[in-house]
Amino acid sequence: MKKKRWNDYLWIAELLYLVLGLFNILFAWLGMIFFTLPLLVAIFGGSKAYCNRYCGRGQLLAILGGKLKISRNAAPPAFLRSRWFRYGFLAFFMIMFCLMLFNTYKVFTGAPLKETVTLLWVFKLPWQWAEVGMVSPWFAQFAFGFFGVMLTSTVLGLLTMILFRPRSWCVYCPMGTMTQGICQLRNSGKLKENGKSGDFPVSKQKFL
């Protein structure tokens, strides 16, 4: 049996993140690590090492769907893998992210703080019990908004894990789409420099 390494336990960090946000919303800021690290690895390393080895969410979905068998283990529909859906979903996700930043800006300029977490871009969940602390209202507003983004992607990940294969979320995960696009751009540039074809294998296929 393959010996476990520290990074095989990063699913615990993912779980911990979700639990901590229930008690103090400011922990939501830690999610910026999950947001920026994959991009930095792709930009500077030109690889999907984060997805393949260090993503706690991917590991958690694999454990729940694979080891605990909470997955139908059915092939995801073809449209989920299509380029238009993956990039369309990324565009939608980024628009909603920008709206969340705009709401933070509004609070920065004097609008009242909204102590709610928005799930699936529609449902406003009251979140007043979570500690806010003595921070600027805009700092707390970003935390509420960002936790909503993380919670929404977690719920979508769990739903697709149950309906299809354990890591089906990885097929259209916005972070995965962005890092894959960056790697393809980087590597096609390198291949062109060497006079080879710009095609690059679609590593998302490995999750299917």
Residue 171 structure tokens: 């097929």
Nearer to ligand SF4, 81 or 132 (CB): 81
Nearer of residues 108 and 200 to ligand SF4, judged by Cβ: 200
Least distance (Å) between residue 81 CB and ligand SF4: 13
Cβ contact 179:51 at 8 Å? yes
- 158 vs 191, beta carbon nearer ligand SF4: 158
Minimum CB–partner distance for residue 54 and ligand SF4 (Å): 8
CB < 8 Å & 24+ apart, contacts of 67-71: 70/161, 70/162, 71/161, 71/162, 71/164, 71/165, 71/166
| Amino acid identity at 45 | G
Of 71 and 104, CB closest to ligand SF4: 71
Q: Which residue is nearest to ligand SF4 (CB)?
A: 176
> Is-contact 62 167, C-beta < 8 A?
yes
User: What is the closest distance, in whole angstroms, from the C-beta atom of residue 122 to ligand SF4 in the complex?
Assistant: 22
Closest CA to 76 of 206, 174, 154, 169: 169
Using CB under 6 A, list all residues that contact ligand SF4: 38, 51, 55, 57-58, 169-170, 173, 175-176
**Closer to ligand SF4 by Cβ: residue 55 or 90:** 55
Q: What is the smallest separation between the CB atom of 159 and ligand SF4, expressed in angstroms?
A: 14
Q: Nearest distance from residue 57's CB to ligand SF4, in Å?
A: 4
- Look up residue 172 and give its DSSP letter: H
With 0-12 / 13-18 / 19 or more C-beta atoms within 10 angstroms meaning exposed / middle / buried, residue 179 is: buried
